[in-house]
A = this chain, B = another copy of it.
Amino acid sequence: MEKLVLLPGPVMVHEDVLLRSAKQVMNHRSEEFEEVLRECLELSRYVFQTEGEVAIITGSGTAGMEAAVYSLVEPGEEVVAVVNGKFGERFADIAERRGAEVIRVEFEWGEAADPERVEEALADSDAEVVTMVHCETSTTVLNPVEEVARVCREYDVIFVVDAISSLGGAEFRMDDWGVDVCVTGSQKVLGCPPGLALVAVNDRALERMEERESGSYYLDLPKYLRFLKEDPMQTPYTPAVNEFYALLEALRRLKKEGLENRWERCRELQRVVREGIRALGLELFVEDDEIASPTVTGVVYPDGVDDREFRGLLRDKYDVVVAGGQDHLAGKIFRIGHMGEVRVRDMVTAVTCVGLAMRELGVDVDVGAAAEAMADAIGG
């Protein structure tokens, strides 16, 4: 492998998963494929921590978000959308495209959502659906899903969560917390190639969907769930069969590692990166450890460092690929992903190479202190 790719998705894929995806295609309406699908669903439920149903859609995470919103909301209905970054905004945009009346509960990019503000919005509106992102990938903030879910339960509304870049890497308990619909993607913590969106749906949400007609034909969520009852179990439209092979292998690997162990591993990687970056003398975009995501870390560019130049140098000379900022954070921050099959070694490498590249660009960083700080953070 030439490059160490540390994006907040797509992530590097383990060779066992990649090779599994290269297995010959099979009939997607057969007992053979049913076996693949059934095990994917069982393992997905474990990752979501739900007894509900899971639809696996061929498409990106955004397709999963649209499937949820278009199946839950009809034009003219109100939706409360928590917005504190690009992906919270995307939920709001999708709901608007659907023709919904969107009530945005907005926070500064880099702040976490405040459940009280969600409560106020629900008290002041007739909205029966709330959307929020768990890990807001654009800002590296982890939103308080459990607390907002509690508010949604009080108001008896449907709570839809985008856990695309967090599920499997940050604590998430769909049923215990009372989340109704949760969306994730294959190319993040699960460690697969991109191409599949997984959408978990509980009975409460399904009941609401069945009272409505989905605004989309392809992304009609109840239809996916109905096709799971067919004999053999199947998807309504031809699935990306090879991505399912990969998903199955990746989910087996996750199960073997253990969900809580993977949560803890991401927390450890996060500590290593954050302490390393701080000791280099660079600024974290989210200073507060309590609201920073365990799956991705944002670093503020020192004055005078150009995003394209820095990331180009890091990529071409050090073979480390990180992500830039999005929308108005473009050029202001870069982001290091630590999800999927990433190890402590990769974090040590990333922080050290970030330091060396910054030094080369004239920034006064302390790579020695970073090494010491990471040593302390490992296993700490």
Contact = CB atoms under 8 A, between A and B. Distances in A.
Interface in A169-219: 185, 187, 193-195, 213-219
Interface string A15-48: 0001101111111101000000000000000000
B94 A217 contact: yes
Given A60-B218, A217-B66, A7 B27 contact: yes
A240 B62 CA distance: 13
A260 interface: no
Contact of A219 (B30, B218, B323): B218
Contacts of A24: 1, 5, 12-13, 18
What is the interface of chain A mostly: helix, strand, loop, or mixed?
loop
A22 B21 contact: yes
A97 to B, nearest CB: 4
Contacts of A238: 9-10, 60-62, 185, 187, 194
A22 B239 CA distance: 18
A49 interface: no
Given A216-B66, A321-B27, A241 B193 contact: yes
A289 to B, nearest CB: 28
A195 B321 contact: no
B19 A60 contact: no
Interface residues of A, number: 53
Contacts of A21: 21-22, 242
Contacts of A219: 216, 218
A10 B22 contact: no
A146 to B, nearest CB: 27
Contacts of A23: 18
A23 B100 CA distance: 41
A219 B90 CA distance: 14
B194 A241 contact: yes
A319 interface: no
Contacts of A58: 58-60, 63, 194-195
A11 interface: yes
A59 B64 CA distance: 11
Interface in A297-321: 321
A10 B239 CA distance: 9
A237 interface: yes
A366 interface: no
B5 A218 contact: no
A12 B25 CA distance: 6
Nearest to A23: B18
The 6 closest A-B pairs by CB, nearest first: A195-B240, A22-B22, A60-B237, A193-B242, A18-B22, A62-B237
22 contacts: A5-B26, A10-B25, A13-B25, A18-B22, A21-B22, A22-B22, A25-B187, A60-B239, A66-B216, A66-B217, A90-B217, A93-B217, A97-B214, A187-B238, A193-B241, A193-B242, A194-B239, A194-B242, A195-B195, A216-B216, A216-B219, A242-B243
Given A10-B238, A60-B240, A97-B215, 9 more contacts: A5-B24, A18-B22, A18-B242, A21-B21, A58-B59, A58-B195, A193-B240, A216-B216, A218-B219
Interface of A: 1, 3, 5, 7, 9-13, 18-19, 21-28, 30, 58-63, 66, 70, 90, 93-94, 97, 185, 187, 193-195, 213-219, 237-243, 321, 323
